[in-house]
Structure 1
Amino acid sequence: MLKALSGGRGFRRHHARQVRRHAGGRLRRHASQPPVRAERAHRRDSIPAPPDVRRLRCEPRAGRRLRRLGRARRFRSSARAIGAAGMIANPEPEEVLRWAYENFNRVAIVASFQAESSVIIDIASRVRPDLSVLTLDTGRLPQETHDMIDRVRERYRIEIQVVHPNAEEVRQVVSQHGVNLFYNSPDLRRLCCDVRKSRPLDRALRGYDAWVTGVRREQSATRAETPIFTVDEQHHGIAKIAPLATWSKGQVWDYIRANHLPYHALYDQGYTSIGCAPCTRATSAGEDERAGRWWWEQNELKECGIHYSPDGRPRPFNGSTDQ
């Protein structure tokens, strides 16, 4: 059903060299994709950092007005496509991914190599053999995550782009607050996540029209209203797609077992959610699925800032489709 929608007006795409007529009879040629940009000076989603680390923010960019115009165009294009897709009730993950590849030129799967990543990459490989897969290497990942990356690369014969944080930003944070600053306060933990995860992802996604994530509604209270389709204002107005949003943990593991997929070795040691090594532990029976993440913090906002703001609110635009 999603495929059928792609022929509609809402999904018409224009080549970068096409000429379009605008109100008032003016003709305008589409601008080419803007070049990769320097780090934003002030992120709307950033956690207020202690005064002595605020200088880690990068300097303002030149040509900001033109880049904002490009972002607005991407936002409108994504919003039109997603608005049409939102009319489809309960789409299956394969249907969602097929629609994404048919309607966006550059789609990135952002994989943490947890169970959901195994499922998404397997389904997507049947839809689009030449996948673009990104993963964030924070510099603090467990060895088992690196092993999992290699297993997936070998199984599907795909390239996996490993994205690293800015070395100078990491050096400054560690110099000012210590290598394990995340244990000292929630704000410092969020600063660490921002430098090692959020900012690198922001840079990596600038060349894409859409990104795919494994977030599911069942994972936590903060994720309970995760939309399948939305426009990601946080990342330049590109589309954000969560094919497994409505799936349960049981469905994910049923798929893995039925298709004999590789999965992260730490699951066999009692882990239910896996991130950086010092910030993740195994969970006990009855604990929340994400209880092992930043377990020393006394609140339920177990988020790094990529998907949700510090108060636990998601980051879609007002017209997101809550399938």
Structure 2
Amino acid sequence: MDYRKLGSSDLELSAITYGAFAIGGNMWGGNEKQDSIAAVHASLDHGVTSLDTAPFYGMGLSEELIGEAIKGKNRDKLQLLTKFGLVWDGSNNGKGDYFFDASADGKTFPVYKYASKANIIKELEESLKRLGTDYIDLLQIHWPDSTTPIDETMETLNLLMEQGKIRAAGVCNYDLSQLKEAEKTIQLASNQVSYSMLNRAIEKDIVPYAVEKNMGIIAYSPMERGLLTGKYFKEAKLQSDDHRNGYFGQFSAESVKALLDKIEPIAQNKNASLSQLVLRWTSLQPGISVVLAGARNATQAIENAKAAAVSITADEMKFINDAILEM
């Protein structure tokens, strides 16, 4: 595993960071508690030191599982990354940006993007309790909230850093104008954004800005939620309540399969899996600090962690990039 400094902060994260969205279960066809905890333990045993979660993942379940998994571990050796700003319990009293309707336990309820000072403080205290810790290494706004001034949100994050409750502040899914507005108030450690072989939009403006400002980029969905592993072109099937039944529809299955067929021999020559090659390619792209990789069991977690050791030559990188451009 290699470890990378996150922007201008003093955080050093593992290049492959554990992404804990799926273990929340909601939107992913459920989860198995012991498998989820085993996935976190396996990640830690194989060099992953950074764990990224959020209150919304399983409506608190993901954070609770992370908290249980790290109980008794050396907290100073771990980096806990979580978020705020998605409210599903009605505590926002209708304030904020309506986002979508979520379902859990047979119930449907509205989710709002809401990042007021009071809500940030409330959510942080809840996260600290679930995670069983007294500080968060990186606290991030989950999605932009147009109803709360950006400076109010950023001033709150500055306050939490001054209080020692968080070590660094980041954002997720911010566009260029939002980043510039935020940085009038705070020096951001990172922007967590979607990035993959199939989605390289951030290369146009977000990456150059981040490089110029010494801001980290945390790439999520590098495997497009499993599509780039190739397993869904083979025997793997999705549960009926898995959001990926709709998510995968945005891509041309024929084009994605053709890409994977082209690059799979490179992985095979390295005794690596397609997912390991994809993760490593992503982590080596300019401006990318760390890559989030989800795992629902120990086997997947170990495979993800070992992706950091995969080598890609300049010629192989060119071949992969050309194959992507030909899609």
Q: Output the TM-score relative to the length of structure 1.
A: 0.30
Q: Larger % of strand: which?
A: 2
Larger radius of gyration: 1
TM-score (norm 2): 0.30
